[in-house]
Amino acid sequence: MWTMLEGFQHLSSEEIDTLVAAPVNITALIGGADGEIDREERNWSERLMRARTYSQPHLIQEYYRVASEDFLAKLDKAMAALPKEVEPRSAILTQRIESLNPILAKLDTELAATLYKSFLVLAKETAKASGGFLRIGAVSAVEYQWLDLPMLEPIHHESGDDIERIEKED
């Protein structure tokens, strides 16, 4: 069971749901920043999420296994429930992502830092998903403002092999 995963067992079910929804909210914010999440962004984000179940540091692979289940359905449901206009939609998504701060603060620093870094990489990869030539120069100005997920408090941990590996993906 998800709540029994090492490092997450002391969180409430609401906090776990918020954490599991983070990739959907990040994808919706970045992918939808320029209006709609296009087909290429949808397909790319689903591939990214599937890859994260085995390519991320061992510490968060199981988290991504749970978060990636029915990812496109979750993304579609989230987008359908949000305003169509970019500004109010972005404001809601920003608040949802910001609500991760107190939850991440409850986690072991290494786990929280690894998740934080993985969220940053997810944001950047989502932004690169469409446009440009071979995804080069694909980040639009409106996506760029959200790339560093400024609503999240940076979390750093000096141990680092897993964290350094995530940074190299960037």
- The pLDDT value recorded for residue 139 is 65
Which residues of the chain are modeled with pLDDT < 70? Answer: 1-5, 130-141, 159-170
Per the document, the length of the chain is 170
pLDDT number for residue 127: 84
Distance CA 157, CA 119 (A): 15
Instruction: Indicate the pTM of the whole model.
Output: 0.86
Q: Report residue 11 as tokens.
A: 């969180």
pLDDT in tens, 128-143: 876 544 445 566 667 7
Task: Compute CA distances 73 → 46, 68, 76, whole Å.
Answer: 10, 10, 5
pLDDT per residue over 12-36, tens digit each?
999 999 999 999 999 999 989 988 8
State the DSSP code for 20: H
